[in-house]
A and B are shown apart, each in its own frame.
Chain A
Amino acid sequence: MSDQDVVAKVGDLMRTLDDVKRYKELAYAMVDFGAIMVVAVIAVIGVTMFQSSVYIVSGFPTSNNGGAYLLFGTPFPSNILVFFGELIILFLGLILGVYRVDKRVRLTKVGEWKETLEEGAPGAIKILSNMEWDSLLGTVSVARVAYLFYSIIKVIGYFLLVSVILTFVSVFTLFSVPATLGYSSIPFISLIIVLLFTKNSLTEGFRKLRSLDSLFWDLRWFASEFKRADFNQT
């Protein structure tokens, strides 16, 4: 293997490890994402409870003739503005959460190895020698879980949002849900819509998960080989 080959292969490895670094950041950003979504749900519950309290104390509109919507199985008199507000809160929460995660991942410091690699084969050996293999393997492992978790949460978030919007459209604009299917069909329709829209993203996700999996095993093998190599002893 020539010096150029070594530099190219170490460059490939480091670029992949940069991706892993981004996914690790994703794992930490998931805490922010979760917090934002929980705050959005708390806000929706708070608004609904406040609305109901105000209704009990000062009266509620009777124009909807018994129309009500369900919040965790509890029906409340509907107010279209409040309902819109709650939809906006959930939507903003989701968008803000995704934006926050993307921003943190984009701001991850990567490519710090490029300068050292420009020194050629000695630089490549130096990079490999300075690598903390055990922590690196741990990072790859965390990155795999983080990526899977993030993908699942994102799909669930979009699914809930589409379900709420479809329910809203059905109830308030008398959009005709196929009579033979009824309202119970809304979750299925939502799931199909979400899967169609996230098809590419999901396929890419599976590809990344598989590549992370094989990277993990390759690195384990490489780490043990590298530790045994003569140039690592000097």
Chain B
Amino acid sequence: MKLRGLLLLLLLLAVLLPMTSAFHYASVPNFGYAGIGSSVVVVAKEDYIYARIQIVVQPLENNTNVLIHGGLAQTVGFTYPNGTTVTVTRPTTFTIILPNSAFFGEAVSWETGQISIGPGNPLGISVLTGQNATAFDMTKLSPPQGVEITQCSVSGDYDLSVQALGVSL
């Protein structure tokens, strides 16, 4: 009887173990940028991933650890994926929810110069800055079916970090 119980527990463990690989994490920590220009945060994911992206934007102007010499600090602006822009005057966390559009989808491998995703990493983040960001045009990318791309941008003098946590559904 006890042995049967142990076997059931082992079975439960065997079911749970693969489920841990359903969660995916990606991050770009402490990305700083000062100068006239902007950064583009690009998120690519497989369509069966439900993800939460948290972008922390901290203006350098109000950061007591940073001294800006010569010239004025640029005002920081954050542009959502839908194009809405907000001014950031203090450390702010922007949250973007990317729902899944498919269930139990098939993983598609896709790679560009900026970002890559595949079965092993179905959730990817990249922060492009300077000329890379200026040259980046999402419309020029043609991801294969099953891959979704989202982008938002930050302009001004800032420090940012991006974290994403997603689950395969």
Chain A residues with a Cβ under 8 A of chain B: 28, 31-32, 34-35, 38-39, 41-42, 45-46, 48-49, 52-53, 55-57, 59-60, 62, 65-66, 68, 71-77
**13 interchain pairs, CB-CB under 8 A:** A35-B2, A35-B6, A35-B9, A39-B9, A42-B16, A45-B20, A52-B23, A52-B167, A57-B52, A60-B52, A62-B56, A66-B30, A72-B21
Residue of B2, B9, B28, B163 near A77 (CB, 8 A) is B163
Across the A-B interface, how many residue pairs have beta carbons closer than 8 Å?
Answer: 84
Least CB distance, A222 to chain B, in whole angstroms: 32
Excluding A45-B16, A68-B27, 5 further A-B contacts by CB distance (< 8 Å) are: A46-B16, A56-B52, A66-B30, A72-B17, A74-B24
Which residues of chain B are within 8 angstroms of A75 by Cβ–Cβ distance?
Answer: 25
Could you say which of B3, B13, B50, B165 contacts A55, with CB atoms under 8 Å apart?
B165
Across the interface, which residues of A come within 8 angstroms of B132, CB to CB?
A: none
Q: In the complex, which range does the number of interface residues on chain B fall in?
A: 20 to 34
Contact with A along B1-32 (1 / 0, CB 8 A): 01101100110110011011101110111100
Cβ contact within 8 Å between A74 and B25:
yes
Chain A contacts for B12, CB-based, 8 A? 42
Do A53 and B9 contact each other (CB < 8 Å), given the known contacts A59-B54, A74-B24, A77-B25? no
Q: Does B51 contact A (CB under 8 A)?
A: yes
Find chain B residues with CB under 8 A from A41 CB.
13
The CA of A65 and the CA of B54, in the complex, are separated in Å by 11
Using Cβ atoms and an 8 Å threshold, which residues of chain B touch A39?
9
| 3 interchain residue pairs of minimum CB distance | A66-B29, A66-B27, A65-B29
Looking at B29, B52, B56, B163, the one whose CB has the most chain A CB atoms below 10 A away is: B163
Q: By the criterion CB–CB under 8 Å, are B2 and A32 in contact?
A: yes
Q: Which residues of B contact A77 (CB under 8 A)?
A: 25, 163, 165
Query: Does B93 sit at the interface, judged by CB under 8 A?
Result: yes
Quick one: given A45-B20, A59-B95, A74-B21, are A65 and B30 in contact (CB under 8 Å)? yes
Closest residue on chain A to residue B18 by CB atoms: A72
Give chain B residues whose Cβ lies under 8 Å from the Cβ of A46: 16
Closest CB in chain A relative to B150 CB, distance in Å: 16
Partner pick for B6 among A31, A60, A62, A76, CB 8 A cutoff = A31
Is the C-beta of B166 less than 8 angstroms from some C-beta in chain A?
A: yes
Q: Judging by beta carbons under 8 Å apart, are A52 and B165 in contact?
A: yes
Q: What is the CB-to-nearest-CB distance from A57 to chain B, in angstroms, rounded to a whole number?
A: 8
Do B20 and A49 touch (CB < 8 A)? Answer: yes
Assembly CA distance A83 to B153 (angstroms): 34
Asked if B74 is at the interface of the complex by the 8 Å CB criterion, the answer is: no
Check B25 against A68 for contact (C-beta < 8 Å). Answer: yes
Shortest C-beta distance, B81 to chain A (Å), equals: 18
B-side contacts of A66, CB under 8 Å: 27-30, 161, 163
Asked if B20 and A72 sit within 8 Å, CB to CB, the answer is yes
Q: How far does the Cβ of A106 sit from chain B's closest Cβ, in whole Å?
A: 19
